Structure 1
Amino acid sequence: MTRIAFYPAKPLSQLGQPLDVIRHFTPNWFAATMGTGILSLLLGQFAALRAVGEALWLLNIALFVLFSLLYGARWLLFFDEARRVFGHSTVSMFFGTIPMGLATLINGAMLYGLPRWGDGLLPLIEGLWWLDVAMALVCGVAIPFMMFTRQEHSIDQMTAVWLLPVVAAEVAAASGGQLAPHLADTAAQFHVLITSYVLWAFSVPVAFSILAILILRMALHKLPHENMAASSWLALGPIGTGALGLLLLGSDAPAIFAANGLESVGAMAEGIGLVAGIILWGFGLWWMLLAVLITLRYLRSGIPFNLGWWGFTFPLGVYATATLKLAAVLHLGFFTVMGEALVACLALLWLLIMGRTLRGAWRGELFVSPCIAGLCKRTEG
């Protein structure tokens, strides 16, 4: 006999149980570590703001550990409810935010941790990076497989959150581009570099195929519901990260390939990385301007706050990082000014969204799991 059970939607403040925070905790929260992490990395590029960036990195470590404990506790204490996330067509996509949030911590460890605690931290950083790679690969395959076999989707309900599980791999690739030069062993550098190129290819073509479908979806069915307003910015993520990854890997390539007897390949990879990075940056500029117009359209009727607002931050942050990287390579003032302006916008957005998040968490309004709130179903034989 089959029984289908639905759970009523109630804000946490009405549930009244100490364990309700754990019971309602979802992967969406890790998007906050992505936004906080990318801002900390950007601030670290400015000498006057480096201390603020390091403080944000330490805060982000605390957030990531807290969220990991809460989500791990949910699987231990409410396993039957937690596993239903794989059948949810939106929340399951946010598993990709976990490895991407971890990547910002790894990059922060290279930017802030190594100068403070020395090269003894490198084995831990390298180990965490390989863990991040494994998590990104699993997300990039397992979640699409669930989409094909267990979840219900339709083109008119599609949003850019489809990108989240597949983009994690290219974020790991960009992180690998920062890790490789720190490694002393040339063989280890080569392994990280080649793995990072594979991760880039594992992610970017899939992400761009999703973007093509997304453009068609918006042309045919117009904009998503205002609850998904921030998703219009998510498309900027794979574009910006794709450009940044090629720029970072290209800058690593000459020395690492030369050390492994492939000097001509390294020079070619550097040139391809720069040209392709500029091209992707231009594509990102188009999408960013479109996202601004879409957001202004949403603002006419109001955008209700939810954890999806963190989708404004990380894509803008990686695009700003790619912009500043182009400024450093090309020595063009335009990229410097634009990069600094994007960082300023990101900082203001972070202050707004973090303030709303803290208020929503305190009131319990943000702790609502769709699989308990009547949007997922349980089937038992």
Structure 2
Amino acid sequence: MSTSAAHPLRLPLRLAGRVGLRGRFDLAQLGPNWYAAVMGTAIVANGAAALPVRVPGLIGFGEAMWALALAALLVLVAARTVHLTRHRGEAAAQLLDRPAVAVFYGCPPMALLSVGLGTMLVGSRVIGTGPALALDAVLWSLGTLYALAVAAGIPYLMITRHPVSALEANPTWLLPVVAPLVASACGPVLVPNLPAGWAQEAMLYGCWGLFGIGLLATLVMLPVVFTGLFHSKLPALVLTPSLFLVLGPLGQSVTAVHQLSDAARPVLPALAPAMAALAELYGVAVIAVAMLWLAVAATANLRARRAGMPFAMTWWAYTFPVGTCVTGASALARHTGFGGFTALATGLYVLLLAAWVAAASGTVSGLARGRLLAR
């Protein structure tokens, strides 16, 4: 997300001139990576709703963050639509042909899905249950179709067209395959609102299928990513925050398996006990791995900061992955009743807030200056 198109996570927002001087954005540079800001904002709202502790004003804060995420999503969708319509899709084709950028097409569906979930969790208090349900149904449907297209399409391009090497893999390669996991975690909230019987069962089984797609694809991709990291390291200091992306599928899979377990109780009562046991055991094991990797990623980023790592849009990688760990730890706290998971979820949420403030303030500052400080 810096000025070089050769590196992953380096697609910047270039301005046609400094804002306030010429006053317009170059929409050609508003790529799919910018949806990471929507994801990072929406997960703050969703985490507020999921936390197993109630703090005065927390839900109101979550509502404000959801509204901000929804507004950012609408602005990005409008801007991208204007540009792609103006250039008849040429820009999208060019981005898909660039391996370092194409992986970021995993961000738009996750943004749609995260804002949709937030609409049900906190937005319903603002716009009402009926409109919230309708909006979430639309966003989940669009986000899921988009996620499946990306999860199949980007690996296909990597296999058939992109000149990529496993020895140069990096955590951004996870973005396309994580999107179905997000869909599987966001879908169960819609199950109680469907007609009882076939519709609810189909939705639940479909979400389990999405869980399987995302989980198995992640298990395939993770060894490739680590091969690239061990062999080639990260090609630039500003890419160090991308190490946090490994947390995404870990925390999201824990969240998903608990959401699916909750939805199964009234719909699939025969399977519900097994699903609950799986959710608890899987969740404890995977959240432990996530915390170990969090320590590794945080240490690497502290080292990079001491080495002079500047702000870049890569800093949004701090937000959504940590947020998935918040929702995963919160689900474990709710299911097990263990206070340690409550403390973990609370601590991770504080970390998420700090990450969001750092990423958002840096982005606003970069926009105000008419440039971003990544090099």
TM-score over 0.5 for the pair: yes
Q: Give 1:229-308 correspondences, 5 Å limit.
A: 229-258=240-269, 263=270, 265-308=271-314
- 1:212 shift after superposition: 1.4
Aligned to 1:345: 351
Matched, 1:85 2:106: no
Is 1:187 the counterpart of 2:198? The answer is yes
The within-5 A match list for 1:62-81 is 62-78=71-87, 79-81=89-91
Asked if the contact 1:170–1:202 (Cα under 8 Å) also holds between the matched residues in 2, the reply is yes
Counterparts of 1:211 and 1:35 in 2: how far apart (Å)? 22
Q: Partner amino acid for 1:63?
A: A
- The structure 1 residue matched to 2:60, chosen from 44, 51, 71, is 51
| Separation in structure 2 between the aligned mates of residue 180 and residue 277 of structure 1, nearest angstrom | 22
What is the root-mean-square deviation of aligned Cα atoms in Å?
Answer: 2.4
Name the structure 1 match of 2:187: 176
Tell me, yes or no, if structure 1 residue 139 matches structure 2 residue 150. yes
Alignment identity in percent? 28
Summarize the Cα distance change of 1:219–1:157 in structure 2 as closer, same or farther, 3 Å threshold: closer
TM-fit CA distance, 1:11: 5.2
Q: CA deviation at 1:18?
A: 6.1
Go from structure 1 to structure 2 and tell me whether the alpha carbon gap of 1:37 and 1:11 turns closer, same or farther (over 3 Å shift).
closer
Q: Given the alignment of the two structures, is residue 37 of structure 1 paired with residue 47 of structure 2, yes or no?
A: no
Q: Which amino acid aligns with 2:282?
A: A
Count of aligned pairs between the two proteins:
357
Unmatched tracts of structure 2, length 5 or more: 1-11
Greater shift, 113-122 or 353-362, is seen at 113-122
Contact 1:74 / 1:82 at 8 angstroms: preserved in 2?
no
Aligned partner of 2:170 in structure 1 is 159
Q: Check the 8 A contact 1:250/1:273 in 2, yes or no.
A: yes
8 A Cα contact 1:241 1:322, kept in partner: yes
Going from structure 1 to structure 2, the CA distance change for 1:365 and 1:86 (only over 3 Å counts) comes to same
**1:224 to 1:288, Cα distance in 2 relative to 1, 3 A:** farther
Using structure 1 for the length normalisation, give the TM-score: 0.87
2:113 touches 2:186 (CA, 8 Å); kept in 1? yes
Deviations 1:269-317 (A, max 9, x none): 2222221122211221221111112212222212222211101100000
Could you tell me whether the CA contact under 8 Å between 2:106 and 2:178 is conserved in 1? yes
Quick one: which amino acid aligns to residue 274 of structure 1?
A: E
Q: How far did 1:363 drift?
A: 2.2
Aligned partner letter, 2:81: G
**8 A contact 1:13–1:365 mirrored in 2:** no
CA contact (8 A) 1:41 1:111 kept: yes
- Cα distance in 1 between the residues matched to 2:167 and 2:22: 38
Give, in angstroms, the shift of residue 347 of structure 1: 0.6
The alignment partner of 1:305 has SS state of coil
Task: Spell out, residue by residue over 1:10-39, the C-alpha distance to the aligned partner (whole angstroms, 9 max, x if none).
Answer: 953659876652122111110000000000
Structure with bigger RCO (C-alpha 8 Å, 6+ apart): 1
**C-alpha displacement at 1:59, in angstroms?**
0.9
Q: 2:5 aligns to what?
A: none
1:61 equivalent to 2:63? Answer: no
Equivalence for 2:9: none
Give the aligned residue type for 1:27. Answer: P
- Between the aligned partners of 2:373 and 2:136, the Cα distance in structure 1 is 32
Shift of 1:251: 1.9
Question: 1:300-379 to 2 correspondence within 5 Å?
Answer: 300-366=306-372
Q: Judge conservation of contact 2:247–2:293 (CA < 8 Å) in 1.
A: yes
- C-alpha change, 1:82 and 1:176, in structure 2 (3 Å) is closer
- The CA distance in 2 between the partners of 1:177 and 1:274, in whole Å, is 17
Aligned partners of 1:82 and 1:171: how far apart in 2? Answer: 23
SS at match of 1:235: helix
Change (3 A) 1:121 1:56: closer
Q: Retained in 1: the 8 A contact 2:185–2:259?
A: yes
* 1:184 Cα deviation from its structure 2 partner: 4.8
2:16/2:26 contact within 8 Å kept: no
CA spacing shift, 1:329–1:172, aligned 2, 3 Å: same
2:94 corresponds to 1:113: no
Q: Is the 8 A contact 2:116 2:136 kept in 1?
A: yes
Q: Which deviations, in whole Å up to 9, do the C-alpha atoms of 1:242-271 show, x marking residues without a partner?
A: 11111111122232113xxxx2x2322222
Say if 1:123 and 1:12 are closer, same or farther in 2 by CA, change over 3 A.
closer
Task: Please give the alpha-carbon distance, in whole angstroms, between the structure 1 residues aligned to 2:316 and 2:357.
Answer: 11
| Deviation of 1:355 (Å) | 0.8
Query: For structure 1, which segment, 237-246 or 208-217, has the greater mean C-alpha deviation from structure 2 after superposition?
Result: 208-217
Report the TM-score, using the length of structure 2 for normalisation.
0.89
Q: Which residue identity does 2:69 align to in structure 1?
A: N
